[in-house]
Amino acid sequence: GADSHTCTYGALGAFSTGMGSTDIAASWISGYVWLRVPQTIKFIYTGKLKKWVSGKDLILHTIGDIGVDGALYKAMEFCGPVIENLDLDARFSMCNMAIEAGGKSGIIEPDEFTFEYLKQNQKSKIKNQNYKLKFKNLKSDKDARYEKIYEYDISKLEPQVACPHLPSNVKPVSQLKKISVNQAVIGSCTNGRISDLRLAAKIFKNRKVKSTVRTIIIPATQNIYKQAIKEGLIEIFDKAGCIISTPTCGPCLGGHCGILADGETAIATTNRNFIGRMGSPKSFVYLSNPAVAAASAIKGRIAHPEEVI
C-alpha cells in the first residue's frame, strides 16, 4: 500500500509493507513489484500483562529497546505466550508501528483468533474448512533462522509513553506525571478501533475532561463510528466534554482537527511524534495507549489510569 503503515495487516498473518506512490503506479502498469526479501527478527513476549498494559505498550517498549532503526528493512515477527493471548485489535497496533523501528513489515502467525476475526469482518463469509486448514499452516518453519532474537518478560511492564521527538524515546508513565498537556487525541490507524474506544469510554464515564485540554476522539472507520454510537460510547465522550470527529488521519499527520500551536503539548494514541508532526515545530507530542491518553485528558497532565478510576 502507499501508506507507510500498511504493515498493520501483518496482524492477519499477511506480509504487508508500505511503498512509494511512484512504485505503486509502476506496479499498476507492469503488474510486478520488486522487493528484496528481508531478514527476520523474532520478538518473543512472555509473562502476564498487567492491567492497563496493551499491545501499544509492548510495541513502544520494543521500539524503545531497539531504536527507530533497530529493525531497518527487517521483518519483525511477534510471538510468544503474550501475543497468543492478544486480541486482534492489540495485534494490529503492534504491527502498525513496526515501521517506527524501521521494519519492512510486522507479522504475527495466524491462529483461531485471526480466523474468527476474518469470519466476522469479511463481506463474504468464510465457510470452507479446507481454507481454514490452509490458513492455519501459514507459520514459520521450525528450523527457521533469524537475524536476531529478542525476548521480553513483560510481567512488570507498566504503561509506556514515547516522549518527544522520537517513538524510541520511551519511558514508563510513572516518570512523566509532571508533564502538563493541552490536547489529548484518541484515534488513528494505531488505536482508533472499537476496543480502544471502549477502553477510553470506561475512563471517561461519569467524568469530565479538564477544561484546559482539547480532547479529540477519532474512530478509525465509519463502521467503528457506527458501532460506537450503537454502544453509547459517543454519548459518553460527549458528556465528558470530548470533541468527536468523523474518521480521518486528522492531527496525526498535521492535517486538521487538532493542529498544535507553538509551545503546546499533546498526548496521543497515534504512531509518530517527530518535530512538527502534529503542527508547530515548537510543539511536543507524547505517544501512549488509549487508557493513559484518557486519564491524562481528565487530569490535565500525563497520568496513569489508576489515578482516575
**pLDDT tens digits, residue range 193-246?**
999 999 999 999 999 999 999 999 999 999 999 999 999 999 999 999 999 999
Residues 111 and 244 grouped into a single domain: no
* Averaged pLDDT, 25-40: 92
Q: What is the dihedral of CA 222, 283, 105, 168, to 10 degrees?
A: -140
Residues 287 and 207 grouped into a single domain: yes
- Residue 69 is classified by DSSP as T
Burial 128-166 (b: 16+ CB within 10 A, else e): eeeebeebeeeeeeeeeeeeeebebebeebbbbbbbbbb
Q: How far apart are CA 218 and CA 197, in angstroms?
A: 9
Is residue 107 within a helix (H) or strand (E), and if so which, with residue range? strand 105-107
The DSSP bridge partners found for residue 279 are 260
The DSSP bridge partners found for residue 148 are 41
Residues 97 and 170 grouped into a single domain: no
Q: Is the pLDDT of residue 123 over 70?
A: no
Q: Estimate to the nearest angstrom the gap between the alpha carbon of 129 and the chain centroid.
A: 31
The DSSP bridge partners found for residue 286 are 267
Q: How far apart are CA 259 and CA 261, in angstroms?
A: 7
Residues 176 and 295 grouped into a single domain: yes
The DSSP bridge partners found for residue 107 are 77
Q: Which domain holds residue 290?
A: 160-307
Tell the residue number behind the cell numbers 504493515, with chain if given: 7
Q: What mean pLDDT value characterizes the chain? A: 92
Residues 169 and 301 grouped into a single domain: yes
Q: Is the pLDDT of residue 129 over 70?
A: no
- Residue 221 is classified by DSSP as S
Residues of the chain with pLDDT > 70, as a percent, come to: 95
pTM of the model: 0.92
Instruction: Look at residues 153, 183, 212 and tell me which one is the last residue of a structural domain.
Output: 153
State the distance between the two ends of the chain, measured CA to CA, in whole angstroms: 40
Residues 138 and 171 grouped into a single domain: no
Q: In this predicted model, which residue has the larger pLDDT, 90 or 122?
A: 90
Q: Estimate to the nearest angstrom the gap between the alpha carbon of 92 and the chain centroid.
A: 7
Residues 301 and 198 grouped into a single domain: yes
What is the per-residue pLDDT for 2? 79
Q: 201, 246, 253, 193: which is closest to 222 by C-alpha?
A: 246
Q: How far apart are CA 278 and CA 109, in angstroms?
A: 34
The answer to whether the bond into 165 is cis (omega within 30° of 0) is yes
Query: Which amino acid does the sequence have at 47?
Result: G
Q: How far apart are CA 60 and CA 160, in angstroms?
A: 6
**How do residues 248-300 score in pLDDT, each as one tens digit?**
988 888 888 899 999 999 999 999 999 999 999 999 999 999 999 999 999 99
- What is the phi/psi pair of residue 268, to 5°? -145, 150
Residues 174 and 250 grouped into a single domain: yes
Instruction: Look at residues 153, 168, 202 and tell me which one is the last residue of a structural domain.
Output: 153
Q: Is the pLDDT of residue 133 over 90?
A: no
* Averaged pLDDT, 152-178: 97
Instruction: Look at residues 129, 153, 177 and tell me which one is the last residue of a structural domain.
Output: 153
Number of domains in the chain: 2
Residues 164 and 146 grouped into a single domain: no
